[in-house]
Amino acid sequence: MSIVSVPRRVYRILKVVFVFAYSIVEVFIQRPKTRAARAAWLSKIGNRLCRAADVTYETRGPVPMSGAVISNHLTYVDILIHAAIRPGVFVSKIELRSTPVLGWISFMAGTIYVARGAGGSAAKAAEGMAKGFRDGLPVTFFPEGTTGVGDVPVLPMRSGLLSQAIAADVPVHYGFIRYSLTPRDLARGKTVRDDVDWGPETLWQHIWNFVDLHGVHGVVTFAPEPIAFSPAAIANRKVAALEAQAAMESLARSTDPNPVAVAS
């Protein structure tokens, strides 16, 4: 590790800590009561954290403003960008609730938690998603259930949340996210796979590597239409998961595998 990079990493981490501290004070003062107000607060946090970490983003295609929204999942930065794009509700694994700071913020933002294998979890998730749909907010989740490292465009999808969205009779929109690095970082041997996508490292190890980058650019491509599930998929959630995966893979093939690197 270069000694020169340590001040940059520390500076970025301090900026991120300040954003969290400011946002926590803000929510205590404003005390947003509605789901829409909490979603708007989370969107502001997403934009602030992106600026603090030198993450830029752009969208291509129509941004879904309601219904269910699914996406591939590479890193926690996906959540920041999806939140920053517009206010919405997220569905997350219950483990996030116990994560320091992030768990409290996710709770205050109205996140819907899912505990796999726990009795009643699916019903609670369905109830939470239905409330988000009724409020006219997009409900975003990552059906892969874990983060990949870009070795394959899309991992196998879990069917539970997809079946809840289909049962709620809402459109299931889908997007595909890719990242690019600055020419300066590419020249240093940095890669999206090792330094942006979250692989086997711990959260803190990944953050320490991530804040050494000079900039990251995310491109979220949304499909022009929601997934048109077949009658078989509507009747069988396993088929629905396969059709959603196929739609996502098709979208991935239509996106630029090497988006233009951002300037350093």
What letters, b where the CB count within 10 A reaches 16 and e where it falls short, cover 230-263?
eeebeeebebbbbbbbebbeebbeebeeebeebe
Neighbours of 208 (CB within 10 A): 14
- How far apart, in whole angstroms, are the C-alpha atoms of residue 81 and residue 14? 20
pTM, two decimal places: 0.89
pLDDT at 77 over 70: yes
**Residue 101 vs residues 24, 145, 238: alpha-carbon distances, Å:** 9, 22, 35
First to last CA, the chain: 20
**Contact criterion met (CB below 8 Å) for 177 and 148:** no
pLDDT at 75 over 60: yes
Residues 185-217 have pLDDT tens digits of 999 999 999 899 988 888 888 899 999 999 999
